[in-house]
Chains A and B, each alone.
Chain A
Amino acid sequence: SQQGEEDPQALSIQEGENATMNCSYKTSINNLQWYRQNSGRGLVHLILIRSNEREKHSGRLRVTLDTSKKSSSLLITASRAADTASYFCATDAGANPGGGNKLTFGTGTQLKVEL
């Protein structure tokens, strides 16, 4: 079963605008991660935020985590056409139900950045 659900499923913006994607999950977690997938390619790890962190930055990426609401958001600032891809959240539930030695991925948000 899917631990994470991304919202929206698809997002289309103009270059230069900010893109915000949200992820909700069900069980308590050790960390939450965001990945990017270009069409027909493997996933690339973008950023990891631990359960005791509330916000993290990496370049144009900003991730927030609200463990009380079991949700996270990924903000891409000043988007570029090259940011067009699918974005997935993934959770490490550790010893909690659905955890163990594996990440559980959400359903993804398809981002299209138009010139």
Chain B
Amino acid sequence: AQRVTQPEKLLSVFKGAPVELKCNYSYSGSPELFWYVQYSRQRLQLLLRHISRESIKGFTADLNKGETSFHLKKPFAQEEDSAMYYCALSSGNQFYFGTGTSLTVIP
């Protein structure tokens, strides 16, 4: 069965500090993985996907098939990064979401 695990419900970092949001998955095939973000009072939106290998708003995520992980990283956190972050896995017609990590960047 497909499953996405985000072990941290809450994460606080100081502005300018590095941040890493953890995501582990279980999937029997080749996964399609995403990070979605929900800023306060806004709708859930795509942050980045592993297939595009791009950096969005300074965030990157590398798929590690050996560790079955897709951690989201940013070297220098900004206050505007405070939000709820969801890791998601796509399997055929469905998306499976983790429980989310609430990131707070302290000024």
Chain A complexes with chain B:
no
**Partner-B contacts on A (CB < 8 A):** none
